[in-house]
Amino acid sequence: MSVESTVRPVTTSRLAEMKQNGEKISMITSYDFSMAKIVDAAGIDIILVGDSAANVMAGYETTLPITLDMMIYHGRCVTRAVKRAFVVVDMPFGSYQGDPKLALASAVRIMKETEADGVKLEGGVEVLESIKMITSAGIPVMGHLGLTPQSIHQFGTYGVRAKGEAEAEKLIHDAQLLSQAGCFGIVLEKIPSALAARVTREVPVPVIGIGAGAGTDGQVLVVHDMLGMNKGFSPKFLRRYADLHTIMTEAVEHYIGDVKSGDFPNENECY
């Protein structure tokens, strides 16, 4: 494979340029080859191989159980499909917190073994040394503030974060620290719109929101949620663009009926 063929057209500089030009950035998750091929061909700017794979792919209640090996597997499946989008792989719980050398080793594994374009990790000042260590190795890092699902046991709820002044001030400070430490972008999850808009104005790097209102530089959604594959998950911020749960259920029921009745396969479907 030539060097050129591994370089995808959306880069960190292109994303920075989009913020400067006021051009909104589209981001979506994917975890496998077939889905990544579809969302990339549709023209998405960033594909996030999110640790939400723990929920939507593996069926865990939280994102905590997913391992570095599992994230690398999903990352590899996605990058094989992608020609244009910037691919970011989430660093899983336990692969970077409290130990900058471990963080660098985990990020290097992700970059080498998945051929992704960057990594994402959750937290502010608590993980700053890990972020500095990873960016010093030339690896693009995306931050993630607000609702950080890897800390669910500390928060105790998936409710809106930073509604109070103290938490909002900390979030603004964390966003500035992340940007100064070299993060190329920051995800803000489930925080008040006014706070997200303020952070977006005050930091020079692209800010991507999920449940953070319209004032950010871009939006991210979990692909299974926006395609309506998960009927049980209906937060206020989620817009469903399809009802794949119904479409897939009806298709499978139709197939079962055809098999049971002997209608499938017909003579044109046989050798």
Active site residues: 189
Q: Which helix (H) or strand (E) holds 238?
A: none
Q: Provide the token pair at 62.
A: 């939280």
CB of 27 to ligand KIV, least distance (A): 8
**90, 115, 217, 225: which one binds ligand KIV (CB under 6 A):** 90
**Taking Cα atoms as reference points, which of 53, 105, 110, 55 lies closest to residue 87?**
110
Task: Classify the phi-psi angles of 122: left when phi > 0, otherwise alpha if psi is within -120 to 50, otherwise beta.
Answer: beta
**47, 172, 188, 210: which one binds ligand KIV (CB under 6 A):** 210
- Region 213-252 residues binding ligand KIV, contact defined as CB under 6 A: 220, 222
> Total number of residues binding ligand KIV (CB under 6 A)?
12
Considering the complex, state which of residue 15 and residue 210 has its C-beta at the smaller distance from ligand KIV.
Answer: 210
Tokens 């700053």 sit on residue: 128
Looking at residue 221, the DSSP 8-state letter turns out to be E
Tokens 């260590």 sit on residue: 133
CB of 48 to ligand KIV, least distance (A): 6
CB of 189 to ligand KIV, least distance (A): 6
Asked if 52 touches ligand KIV (CB under 6 A), the answer is: yes
* Cβ neighbours for 52, distance < 8 A, ≥ 6 positions apart: 29, 63, 90, 149, 222
Which residues lie across from 144 on neighbouring strands? 187
- Region 116-175 residues binding ligand KIV, contact defined as CB under 6 A: 144
- Region 9-48 residues binding ligand KIV, contact defined as CB under 6 A: 29, 48
Considering the complex, state which of residue 29 and residue 114 has its C-beta at the smaller distance from ligand KIV.
Answer: 29
Q: Provide the token pair at 93.
A: 């719980």
Residues near ligand KIV (CB under 6 A): 29, 48, 50-52, 90, 144, 187, 189, 210, 220, 222
